[in-house]
Structure 1
Amino acid sequence: MTRSIVLDEPGVWRLVTADPPEPGPGEALIRVVAAGVCGSDRDLYADTRPAGFAAYPVTPGHEWSGTVAAVGPGADPALVAAKVVGEGHRSCLTCDSCRNGDTNLCAKGYDETGFTSPGAFAEYLLLPARLLHVLGDDADLRAAALLEPAAVAAAGVRKVGPRPGESLAVIGAGTLGVLTLQLLGAYSPVELVVVDPRRERVEPALEAGATAFRSPDEIGPLNGRFDAVVETAGASGTAHAAVRLARRGGRVAILGIPGDPADSIPTTLIVTRHLALHTVFGSTSADWAHVVRAFAAGILAPAPFVTDELPLEDYEQALKLSGSPTAGKILLRP
């Protein structure tokens, strides 16, 4: 028997016991070792996800790591017992978007593990084997559970295309922000400034490679200074701040989904500064490949950002903890 969380509707959940699922053709059954909790999971619980990006009932959990327990017909039997992580977007691979490499924008419609398909807040997870990325035998699966947000961070970093010796900035020092800092630090920037109102985030940000930490009310003198800016906070005003920080001809990537629908980006500033503005929703297969390589090389080292590990039945407590200003990444350990 296996256990899983089922969120029947916003705010209403139960712990379910059932037989483990059987992998079908091309599928893999994963024994989940660790599953991360993030702001999107809180949004799913509170019904504040953007329209069309959630379906109830659902087993949440889109950040995970584990080992392959079994595979179905047509899947590579060599995968069994491998340490793995996996992409969340269940793309078709045949539409124009997928063939262009935008697997997160699949034309068949939005379908993502933990939001519309059963996720990893469970002892076992079933998904197409083609979505798996195999890790080394010595990989730390506790740390590897953070590779999903790292893939989103990589999407933003790859969009802005940092070059050695540039001035870079990150808005937000949560999990997504510190992972972005680690990836940007690999490009040897002349400065790497992080902006966040929470003084509790100073130490994690500096450990991740930031050269300076600033609160939002301190960044006025920095406006127009940075070659590239990555926004990871998704808070009211943070996208606006990212645009203001970029120099003329600079590049900006917006990763966070603002909680305030009235928040606006100054289009006049975008045009007069001739900015390249990018947005990111999820991550592509290429982004995943990028972070798996960075993880294997030690460039990406997310283990220090894990602050709490809880059993599956403490799902609601994990959601609450993940919203604390002192919390790093919260893991459920099925």
Structure 2
Amino acid sequence: MSRSLVIERPGEHRVARRDVPEPGAGEVRVRVAWAGICMSDREVYDGHRDAAYVRYPVTPGHEWSGTVDAVGEGVDQALVGRKTVAEGFRACGVCARCREGETSLCGGGYAETGFTEPGAFADHLVIPQRLLHPLHEDADLRAAALLEPAAVIAAAVRAGRPRPGERIAVVGAGTLGLLAVQLLAASSPAELTVIDPRAARGEQALRFGATRSLSPAAAEGGESVQGRFDLVVETAGAPSTAASSCLLARRGGRVVLTGMFTPGATGIDPVHLSLSQLEVRSVFGAPSSAWSEAVRAFGLGLLDPAPLITHEFPLERFADAVALVGGGDPATGKVLLRP
């Protein structure tokens, strides 16, 4: 039998047992090793995710790692036993956006593992083979469960185009922010400043390659860094951080927004935007190319997500695990389930 965590409707979940699923043509079955919980999963559980981006009942889990244990018709048997991660977006591969490489913007309709398709809060996961990104045989699967947020950050870094010797700021030192620090440090910036109200997170950012850590109050006050940076990567998704990130950029600078904002967030001042000639980009998920970059950086040791993990729970303790996510405790980092 195979277990899966099912959210029947907001606030209501159960652990279901069923026959072990069989992969169809072009599919593989993965034995899930680890699955991360993020704020999107908390939104699904609480019923706060936009109805267009979730389908109940649903088995969540879009951040995961595992090992291929069966393949369907037309799939190379050599994949059996291979450690892997996989893209979440079920891109069609044939629309204009997919053909241009923007698979996260697929025009064929939204479908994503863990939101509209069964996810990895389960013993087994069946997915299309074309979405796989196989890992080295010695890969740490516990750390690899964070390659989905790492791919989002890889997409943000690609959009930001960091160049050696630039001044760079990262707004937010959560999972996305600390992964951003690691990738951006590899671009040899002259300065890499992290802005976050949590002192402990700032200290962790310094260990990951940041050159300075500031609180938002310091960044706006006595140690003001307004208008200083060539590139600002926003990762917090707080109500004020889109607007404040634009104020950190120099004239002609670049700002990349990766946080998922909620209605009512502070808007970007169009006067400042035009007078400063800023380039502002946003990131929604990660295209295939960003996944490849994140997996490659992980294999080379440029990304080390393991220190971001603070809690691990069995599948049956999902309620305890999801309560920690977004609970406000600064000691809570990435929370994992181990099916």
Which range, TM-score by smaller chain?
Answer: over 0.9
State the partner residue of 1:35.
35
Pair 1:304 & 2:307 matched = yes
Which consecutive unaligned segments of at least 5 residues does structure 1 have?
Answer: none
Pairwise CA distance, 1:63: 0.2
Q: Is the 8 A contact 2:238 2:265 kept in 1?
A: no
Deviating beyond 2 angstroms after TM superposition, the runs of 4 or more aligned structure 1 residues are 259-263
Q: Quick one: distance in 1 between partners of 2:28 and 2:21?
A: 10
Q: Quick one: distance in 2 between partners of 1:234 and 1:141?
A: 28
Pairwise CA distance, 1:306: 0.9
TM-score (norm 1): 0.98
State the partner residue of 1:258.
261
Q: Quick one: distance in 1 between partners of 2:117 and 2:300?
A: 32
State the partner residue of 2:198.
198
Letter matched to residue 59 of structure 2: T
Q: Is the 8 A contact 2:234 2:242 kept in 1?
A: yes
State the partner residue of 1:150.
150
Q: Summarize deviations over 1:193-230 as a string: whole Å, max 9, x none.
A: 11112223123222222111111111121111000001
Which consecutive unaligned segments of at least 5 residues does structure 2 have?
Answer: none
Letter matched to residue 141 of structure 2: L
Letter matched to residue 291 of structure 2: W
Pairwise CA distance, 1:50: 2.9
Pair 1:249 & 2:252 matched = yes
Letter matched to residue 335 of structure 2: I
Q: Quick one: distance in 2 between partners of 1:312 and 1:208?
A: 31
State the partner residue of 2:242.
239
Return closer, same or farther for 1:103/1:182 CA change in 2, 3 Å cut-off.
same
State the partner residue of 1:67.
67
Pair 1:176 & 2:181 matched = no
Pairwise CA distance, 1:262: 4.1
Q: Quick one: distance in 2 between partners of 1:6 and 1:180?
A: 32
Pairwise CA distance, 1:259: 3.0
Q: Is the 8 A contact 2:22 2:29 kept in 1?
A: yes
Pair 1:292 & 2:303 matched = no
Q: Percent identity?
A: 56
**Which sits farther off after the overlay, 323-332 or 97-106?**
323-332
Letter matched to residue 328 of structure 1: G
Q: Is the 8 A contact 2:203 2:213 kept in 1?
A: no
SS at 1:278 equivalent: strand
State the partner residue of 1:267.
270
Letter matched to residue 301 of structure 1: D
Pairwise CA distance, 1:51: 3.9
Counterpart selection for 1:326 from 316, 322, 331:
331
State the partner residue of 2:140.
140
Q: Quick one: distance in 1 between partners of 2:83 and 2:89?
A: 20
- Aligned residue pairs: how many? 334
SS at 1:299 equivalent: coil
Q: Quick one: distance in 2 between partners of 1:11 and 1:218?
A: 39
